[in-house]
């Protein structure tokens, strides 16, 4: 009996340590994603969309997010392994756990999409507004999916009372709504910035033609 208590206490302390690093990785990723999204929105609102992105900063940002995602996978698997040992296969029937795993898998695929398609196109174009319509929509949807997924996964992570209380459908009911809402808001903001940028270039061309005519 004493051996079992000692083993249980050790597992509890081990789990606490793994959860601690899991939360740190999640906080790092969320802070970077939030900082990047705020910077992009400010750029669109201020009308600086024609400026080129800092490629070195973007690469550093993406590498850090990737490392945080890898850390989340490793620590998450560690937490699942520890809980499985204590609770058995029934542990995997928890809808909250299923939602978190599904969201992390989706974030991982979305990360591959960002690295393989969105970021190379953005670096080549130099600006979100200079992307083709299809690539711009892809970038906006991928960004909305990333931002919503990180915050939603964090909410599920800290929401211990949600475990076993709601079904998987109920837990994820607001998830697609938030993604569509975020995507729609960014589409409207980008369209407004695109129109303003076009009007600004037209006014600049008009003044150039007038000055040339006067000269």
Mean per-residue pLDDT of the chain = 80
CA angle 38-139-179, nearest 5°? 70
Confidence of residue 1 (pLDDT cuts 50, 70, 90): very low
Tens digits of residue pLDDT in 115-151:
888 888 887 877 788 888 888 899 899 989 988 998 8
Please give the torsion angle defined by the CA atoms of residues 128, 131, 135 and 137, in that order, rounded to the nearest 10 degrees.
Answer: 50
Tell me what pLDDT residue 198 has: 66
Give the Cα separation of 175 and 178 in Å (integer).
Answer: 5
Confidence of residue 54 (pLDDT cuts 50, 70, 90): low
Q: Structural domain of residue 111, as residue ranges?
A: 2-214
pTM of the model: 0.79
Do residues 128 and 122 make contact, with C-beta atoms less than 8 angstroms apart? yes
Give the pLDDT mean for 61-87.
Answer: 85
Residue 88 φ then ψ, to 5°: 80, -170
Do residues 9 and 1 make contact, with C-beta atoms less than 8 angstroms apart? no
Do residues 36 and 68 make contact, with C-beta atoms less than 8 angstroms apart? no
Confidence of residue 27 (pLDDT cuts 50, 70, 90): confident
Residue 100 confidence (pLDDT) above 80:
yes
> How many domains is the chain partitioned into structurally?
1
Tell me what pLDDT residue 4 has: 42
Confidence of residue 2 (pLDDT cuts 50, 70, 90): very low
Percent of the chain with pLDDT over 70: 80
> Could you give the 3-state DSSP secondary structure of residue 90?
helix
Confidence of residue 6 (pLDDT cuts 50, 70, 90): very low
Confidence of residue 208 (pLDDT cuts 50, 70, 90): low
Tell me what pLDDT residue 7 has: 62
Alpha helices in the chain (DSSP H): 2-46, 55-87, 95-113, 119-125, 133-158, 168-171, 174-214
Tell me what pLDDT residue 42 has: 81
Give the Cα separation of 20 and 24 in Å (integer).
Answer: 6
Tens digits of residue pLDDT in 138-184:
989 998 998 899 889 888 888 777 778 889 999 999 999 999 999 99
CA angle 43-45-49, nearest 5°? 40
Residue 44 φ then ψ, to 5°: -70, -40
Give the pLDDT mean for 183-192.
Answer: 91
Give the Cα separation of 108 and 150 in Å (integer).
Answer: 11
Do residues 163 and 96 make contact, with C-beta atoms less than 8 angstroms apart? yes
Closest CA to 204 of 52, 47, 77, 79: 47
């Amino acid at each position: 009996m004493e051996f079992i208590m000692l083993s249980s206490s050790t597992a509890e302390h081990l789990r606490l340590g793994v959860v601690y690093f899991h939360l740190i990785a999640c906080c790092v990723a969320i802070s970077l994603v939030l900082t990047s999204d705020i910077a992009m929105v400010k750029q669109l609102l201020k009308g600086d969309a024609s400026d080129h992105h800092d490629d070195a900063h973007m690469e550093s940002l993406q590498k850090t997010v990737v490392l945080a995602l890898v850390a989340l996978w490793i620590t998450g698997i560690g937490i699942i392994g520890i809980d499985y040992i204590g609770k058995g296969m029934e542990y995997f029937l928890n809808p909250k756990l299923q939602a978190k795993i599904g969201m992390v898998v989706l974030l991982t695929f979305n990360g591959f999409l960002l690295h393989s398609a969105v970021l190379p196109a953005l670096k080549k174009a130099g600006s979100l507004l200079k992307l083709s319509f299809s690539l711009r929509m892809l970038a906006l949807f991928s960004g909305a999916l990333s931002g919503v997924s990180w915050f939603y996964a964090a909410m599920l992570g800290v929401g211990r009372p949600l475990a076993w209380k709601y079904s998987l459908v109920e837990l994820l009911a607001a998830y697609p709504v938030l993604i569509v809402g975020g995507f729609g808001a960014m589409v409207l903001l980008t369209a407004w910035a695109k129109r303003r940028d076009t009007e600004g270039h037209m006014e600049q061309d008009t003044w150039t033609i007038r000055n040339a005519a006067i000269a």
